[in-house]
């Protein structure tokens, strides 16, 4: 089945939150993020880990220009990751391990692992302490993860280590003997990384495309190490919270028109005195308004929010 089908729960959640999704194949000849100097989308989802060359006018430079213009991007990759996606990550200060590698943990793997110990159970204690990004309830149920490892550029202070692997994990080719030092070891191995750029654009990298799948959303979790079983993983809750942060539904300061006057009057005075009763009226918008980063253009969350979803061909 296609990613659009295997990850339909996640895509449906975006639609339910007011996004207008435009699905495109990574090699679609009509791919474009801008027209006549204006961006066509506010947000971008890239679920095409193995793409080597995009169709249309889309390219690494076009995606970085989209980010430089304030666009928000959610990227999901896996062990099939190609040089194109790795190059995009490098532009943001994240280094993804090579194609064919995976995060391996010989202690914290799921009971349904197929023997390579790559279907790991990520400890929620390794989540960043930021409820705005990961949600308030995600600290209770472990996360299922099967994919590639990442490391952050130590010289980039904007990188957020959203979820790290356990101290017993490392990133390597599961079919090869370890004869050299792995790309990432222990808690330096990033499973989810994010960045908020200085222009407030937000980008998140998730090294497991399966993390967003219907299967992982609904799957039970049981670590071989402690045997504790959970009827459902914490993937869906974390994916929802993360996408809300990336697309600026959360963690954005709201600035609106504020009107005020004395009780019984309609216009504000030049000054108030102590003990006067004051009426304060916030922005009259019925929905929560957030700045979307498009030349000071403001949108309501319940309005039209164009989002491009680019999938593997």
Q: Helix/strand/coil (H, E, C) string of 76-141?
A: ECCCCCCHHHHHHHHHCCEEECCCCCEEEECCCEECCCCCCCCCEEECHHHECCCHHHHCCCCCCC
Report the pLDDT value the prediction gives residue 288, as an integer from 0 to 100: 36
If you average pLDDT over residues 164-193, what whole number do you get?
A: 96
**Which helix (DSSP H) or strand (DSSP E) does residue 244 occupy?**
helix 235-246
If you average pLDDT over residues 71-91, what whole number do you get?
A: 97
Averaged confidence pLDDT in the chain: 90
180 has pLDDT over 70: yes
Distance CA 73, CA 67 (A): 7
Report the pLDDT value the prediction gives residue 137, as an integer from 0 to 100: 74
214 has pLDDT over 80: yes
Give the pair of three-digit tokens for residue 84: 């194109």
219 has pLDDT over 60: yes
User: What is the three-class DSSP state of 209?
Assistant: helix
Report the pLDDT value the prediction gives residue 72, as an integer from 0 to 100: 97
In the 8-state DSSP scheme, what is residue 227? -
Q: What percent of the chain has pLDDT over 90?
A: 78
304 has pLDDT over 60: no
User: Exposed, middle or buried, 47 (CB in 10 Å: 0-12/13-18/19+)?
Assistant: buried
Q: For the segment 36-58, what is each residue's pLDDT rounded down to a tens digit?
A: 999 999 999 999 999 999 999 99
Report the pLDDT value the prediction gives residue 299, as an integer from 0 to 100: 40
* Helix, strand, coil shares, percent, the chain, to 5: 20, 30, 50
Task: Give the Cβ contact number of residue 243 at 10 Å.
Answer: 23
Q: Give backbone dihedrals phi and psi of 261, rounded to 5 degrees, phi first.
A: -165, 170
If you average pLDDT over residues 286-311, what whole number do you get?
A: 52
pLDDT tier for residue 221 given thresholds of 50, 70 and 90: very high
Q: Give backbone dihedrals phi and psi of 266, rounded to 5 degrees, phi first.
A: -120, -15
If you average pLDDT over residues 283-294, what whole number do you get?
A: 38
If you average pLDDT over residues 273-290, what whole number do you get?
A: 61
195 has pLDDT over 80: yes
63 has pLDDT over 90: yes
pLDDT tier for residue 290 given thresholds of 50, 70 and 90: very low
Report the pLDDT value the prediction gives residue 302, as an integer from 0 to 100: 39
Report the pLDDT value the prediction gives residue 262, as an integer from 0 to 100: 86
254 has pLDDT over 80: no
Report the pLDDT value the prediction gives residue 271, as an integer from 0 to 100: 87
If you average pLDDT over residues 189-204, what whole number do you get?
A: 97
Report the pLDDT value the prediction gives residue 138, as an integer from 0 to 100: 67
255 has pLDDT over 70: no
């Amino acid at each position: 089945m296609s990613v659009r089908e295997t990850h339909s729960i996640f895509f449906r959640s975006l639609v339910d939150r007011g996004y207008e999704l435009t699905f495109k194949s990574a090699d679609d000849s009509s791919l474009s993020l801008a027209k006549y100097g204006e961006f066509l989308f506010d947000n971008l989802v890239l679920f095409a880990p193995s793409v080597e060359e995009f169709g249309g006018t889309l390219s690494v430079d076009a995606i970085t220009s989209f980010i430089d213009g304030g666009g928000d991007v959610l990227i999901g990759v896996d062990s099939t990751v190609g040089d194109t996606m790795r190059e995009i990550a490098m532009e943001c200060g994240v280094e993804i391990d090579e194609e064919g590698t995976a995060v391996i943990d010989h202690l914290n793997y799921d009971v349904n692992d197929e023997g390579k110990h790559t279907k790991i159970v990520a400890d929620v204690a390794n989540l960043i302490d930021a409820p705005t990004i990961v949600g308030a309830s995600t600290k209770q149920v472990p996360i299922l993860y099967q994919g590639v490892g990442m490391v952050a550029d130590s010289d980039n202070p904007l990188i957020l280590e959203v979820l790290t692997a356990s101290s017993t994990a490392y990133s390597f080719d599961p079919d090869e003997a370890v004869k050299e030092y792995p790309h990432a070891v222990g808690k330096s191995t990033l499973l989810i990384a994010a960045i908020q750029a200085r222009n407030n654009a937000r980008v998140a990298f998730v090294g497991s495309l399966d993390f967003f799948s219907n299967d992982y959303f609904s799957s039970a979790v049981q670590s071989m190490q402690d045997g504790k079983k959970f009827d459902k993983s914490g993937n869906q809750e974390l994916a929802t919270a993360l996408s809300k942060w990336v697309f600026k539904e959360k963690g954005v300061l709201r600035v609106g028109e504020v009107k005020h006057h004395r009780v019984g009057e309609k216009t504000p005075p030049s000054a108030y005195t102590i003990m006067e009763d004051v009426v304060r009226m916030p922005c009259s918008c019925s929905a929560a308004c957030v700045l979307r980063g498009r030349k000071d253009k403001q949108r309501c969350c319940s309005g039209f929010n164009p989002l491009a979803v680019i999938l593997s061909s």
